[in-house]
Each structure stands twice: as structure tokens, then as C-alpha cells.
Amino acid sequence: MLRGPRPFSAGPACSRRCRAPNARIARSVRLAAAAPAAQDVTLSIAQSLAIVDRARQLKESLPGLKADAVGVQRITGDVGERVALVAGRDIRDKEVIMTIPEKLAVTSVDAENHEVVGPLAAEASELTALTLWLLAERAKGAASQHADLLSTLPEATLSPLLWEENELKELLSGSPALEEAQTRRAALRQQWQLLEPKLQAEAARYPPAVFGEQAFYRAFSVVVGHAAFLPSANCFALLPLASLMGRTGNGNGCDLDFDAQLNAVVVTAARPYRAGSELLLNDGRPNGELLLATGSLQDSNMSDCLEWPAALLPADRYYMMKSQILESLGFAPTERFPVYADRMPIQLLAYLRLSRVADPALLAKVSFEKDVELSQMWVQSYEEDVKIAQQPNLTPKERLAVKLRLGEKRIINATMEAVRRRLAPIRGIPTKSGAMADPNSDLKEIFDAIESIPAAPLRLVQGFMSWARGEQDPDWGKKPGQGPGRGQPPRK
């Protein structure tokens, strides 16, 4: 059985190593490293059909597993074959579509109590412990009591963390994902270097053929890509069937969590589903993070974004006053904000306003042609990548990379176009309507007000503090990603 000595909801094994899901996932994935992709990780039609059969048998044979509303289906996508869960019938909104007893889930508790890797797992991070467990159980083959679960998991994922270095530099050139992938690869290499002496010291217990460096990297990619985070339990878990579910950032998929009363993991539909529709897990990560973590990304991902930096100017004569204002609101003098293709957080706009109210002369010095330099970061233009994406003979890695690059460029192009439209009058460029009304009058009012500081400092500072505290904007005090404000930033 898969039950560990402690339930999900209690015990130091979870609490000492788990944090909020997105931060926890991001930190753990930073521990991933490169491994030469000597083996093709894409599925053939025969392999995908075999996984479908095993998953269907798993659904019928596991004791306590309730998944009557769920079907298993092979899907052919632009990156190759994959196996997905689909609605076996019409599903209602908020309906529980799958119940997985706690004893069927594999967590770090199981790894710590494993007869082979337990001592190492007890000293390792949560996802590393699961990786060691996966390696040990795979070595048992059909003799493993978890063989049914393992047979539905891939040997590795298409995560860029497993790509060759030259592939990374060529396919992700200009993308923020390149630097992040290199950082995470280096971090997991360090993790392996810490494990390697312990494995070599007990080679009979940890045979190199099983616990080798490349096998470790590949197994880690599977754990990161397929383990589900359970918010109520504050743990990651490998789950039968549910580990096959794809991810969506559109908020219209399914929610997965641990139910303490049922002592089971429960998957709940967040919307109605028609029979045959693919069941996806809600996952609010952008495509760059999804690709690094899971080796896949979502078309039309509403959560896809780029993080843009913003900072106060150290030379600003009001730097200290602004720093205090930001600190009172939970912000630092240097921040990063998510920018989407069709919207940006209102906190970014307010932050930029605050950072630029020192001198009205700064307005004339701001260059709105910087986007030309920004565009030069890309090796190929947007149009060139569109043509590449239309080629039918791309490899899976090339297909994923071009989809990621196109998504990032859409965000940049849409944002810069919105800025141009917004600032057209101030640059002396007529709008489409022909009107020259200045939509940036609020900025000019702030500049004018700052000029009156020497004459009326107390009155101005009080009014300025009221504005900065968000008394005129209820969403200003929320950090990106907190509360309902994240999904409701101003449209461009």
C-alpha cells in the first residue's frame, strides 16, 4: 500500500519542506539540470495506446479509486502523441469527478520510509526524495507494488532542462526562459554532486546502473512535471490517473486538493464539461514556467506573462520619501510585475507613476523608442517565427521553443502597441479619431503638484500619501497574484 506513517495534513515531513505551491514549484524546479537527451521522450502511437490501456486498467483495479466520470484517451497534438483524461459523460460544475484514497498517493513520506532510498530521502528536499523513490521503484520493474502507477508515467519530459546546451542557446535565444533554464540546470547539478558521494559510498545498495546521473535528471523531470501539489496538505504527491492530467492557466479546468474528512485527494470540475472534453488541472503559471517544469505549454494561456522590472531612481531627490511610501504598502524600491498580452497590473502603473513624479522635466527625457532596442533581443522577428511555426517538419523541441517565443513576442508587441496608442497625443502623433486630447493629464497633474512642494509641503504630502495608499484605487495595495485583483488588471 502507498500509505505513509503520517497523514498528509500533519507531521513534520510535509510542514518542514513545503511552501505555497507556485513558489515551492519554482524553487524546486530551479534544482533541475541538463542531461543529454540520448533517448527520444516523445511517444509513438503504439506507446500511447499501451499507456491508455494501462490507465484504464488502473482505473478499474485500484481499490477505493472513484473515477466513473473520467475516461482515458490518446490525443495527437502538434508536439506528438500524448495520453489525456477526458470527460466520460457530461459533468456538472463543481462536481467531484475523481476521488483518490490517501493510501494510493505517493509522497515524500513514502520515500523516507522506502527500504532502499529511505536514509537519503530523509535528508533530501521533497521533490528530490520523490525522485529517489521513483528510481528505486522503477528498478523493481513488474515486481514493484506501484508498477501500475509507474507504467503510466513517461521516462522523461521535454523540459528544456534536459536539452543540450547548444539546443538551449539556439532555440531559446532572447527568451527569459534561457537564463532561467541555465540557472536551474546548474542548481540540480550541484544537488547531484551532493548526492553522488553518498551513492558511491554504498554502491551495492545504490547501483550506478540505477542511480546514475542521467537517470536522476530524467526521473527528476518526471517528478517535477507530474507530481501534483495539494494545498491543504502542503505536499507534493504522485497520483494514479491524476498525474496524467494536463495543465491550463485559464481558470476553467479542474481543482485538485486533499480532503481531510474523506482522507482522500479530490478532483473537482471548476466548470461544466461535455462528454469527450479534455480534463485539465488549473495551473496559473505562465508558459515559460510550464515549459521548464512540465515540458509542455498551453496555447492561448491567459496566465502567460512576462515579468517586467520597475524601480525608483536613486538620484531622485524624493527617493527616501517614496521608499517609505512603498514600504508602507509592501513594495520595495525595486520590483518585478507580470505583464500580459492584453493587460498589465494596476500596481505597475501606480508604481511607475510614483517613481517618475520627481521632476516634470523627466517627462520630456523619457524615450518611447526604447522598444526598438527591446525588439533587438530576439534573434528572429515575430514574422520569421510565425513562418517557422508553420513548418510541418519541426522536432518537438523546435515546436515548443517557437511556440514559447511567439507567446513572449505577442506580449511585448501588444504592450508596446498599447503604450504607443496611450501616449500618441503626448508625442504629437494624432490618434485614429484625429483628436489630440491628452489621456495622460493625470501624470501632468502629478508633475504640477510636485512643483508646489516647497510652497505647501504638508498639504501636498498628505494628499500624495492618500493617493499612494490607494484611497482612490482599492486594488493598489495588492501585490501581483494576491486576491481577486490579479485577474482584473486594467486592459490595455
When mean pLDDT is compared across 208-222, 235-249, 476-490, the lowest value belongs to: 476-490
When mean pLDDT is compared across 164-173, 266-275, 477-486, the lowest value belongs to: 477-486
pLDDT bracket for residue 51 (50, 70, 90): confident
pLDDT bracket for residue 17 (50, 70, 90): very low
The CATH fold assigned to 12-294 is: set domain protein methyltransferase, domain 1 (3.90.1410)
Task: Enumerate the CATH 3.90.1410.10 domain ranges in the chain, comma separated.
Answer: 12-294
pLDDT bracket for residue 369 (50, 70, 90): very low
Mean pLDDT of the chain: 78
pLDDT given at position 456 = 39
pLDDT given at position 379 = 46
pLDDT given at position 258 = 96
For 443-470, what is the mean pLDDT? 45
Task: Enumerate the CATH 3.90.1420.10 domain ranges in the chain, comma separated.
Answer: 306-487
**3 state SS of 55:** helix
DSSP structural state of residue 45: H
Cα–Cα dist 184/289, whole Å? 12
Beta bridge partners of 338: 307
Residue 482 has pLDDT above 70, yes or no: no
pLDDT given at position 93 = 95
**Which is more confidently placed, 159 or 377?**
159
**Phi, psi values for residue 473, rounded to 5°:** -150, 100
Residue 383 has pLDDT above 70, yes or no: yes
Cα–Cα dist 148/59, whole Å? 10
Cα–Cα dist 443/363, whole Å? 9
pLDDT in tens, 156-174: 999 999 999 999 999 998 8
Cα–Cα dist 165/36, whole Å? 9
Q: Tell me, what amino acid is at 251? A: G
pLDDT given at position 47 = 81
pLDDT given at position 423 = 58
Which residue's entry shows cell 509522497? 107
Residue 332 has pLDDT above 90, yes or no: yes
**Which is more confidently placed, 320 or 374?**
320
Which residue's entry shows cell 509592501? 330
Q: Are strands 246-248 and 280-282 parallel, antiparallel or unpaired?
A: parallel
Cα–Cα dist 242/246, whole Å? 9
pLDDT given at position 25 = 35
pLDDT in tens, 35-47: 333 345 777 788 8
Cα–Cα dist 73/69, whole Å? 13
pLDDT given at position 322 = 83
Residue 457: which H helix or E strand, with range? helix 457-468
pLDDT given at position 424 = 57
When mean pLDDT is compared across 134-143, 294-303, 433-442, the lowest value belongs to: 433-442
Q: Residue 423's CB: how many other CB atoms inside 10 A?
A: 16
When mean pLDDT is compared across 211-215, 328-332, 454-458, the lowest value belongs to: 454-458
The CATH fold assigned to 306-487 is: set domain protein methyltransferase, domain 2 (3.90.1420)
High-pLDDT (> 70) share of the chain, %: 72
**Which is more confidently placed, 451 or 325?**
325
Indicate left, alpha or beta for 64 from its phi (over 0: left) and psi (-120 to 50: alpha): left
Cα–Cα dist 289/47, whole Å? 27
Q: Which of 378, 355, 350 is nearest to 366 (CA)?
A: 355
Cα–Cα dist 244/238, whole Å? 10
pLDDT given at position 18 = 34
Cα–Cα dist 97/91, whole Å? 8
Cα–Cα dist 236/109, whole Å? 10
Residue 181 has pLDDT above 70, yes or no: yes
When mean pLDDT is compared across 28-32, 143-147, 319-323, 344-348, the lowest value belongs to: 28-32
High-pLDDT (> 90) share of the chain, %: 49
For 261-290, what is the mean pLDDT? 95
For 388-396, what is the mean pLDDT? 91
For 176-198, what is the mean pLDDT? 94
pLDDT in tens, 248-265: 999 999 999 999 999 999
**Phi, psi values for residue 325, rounded to 5°:** -60, -45
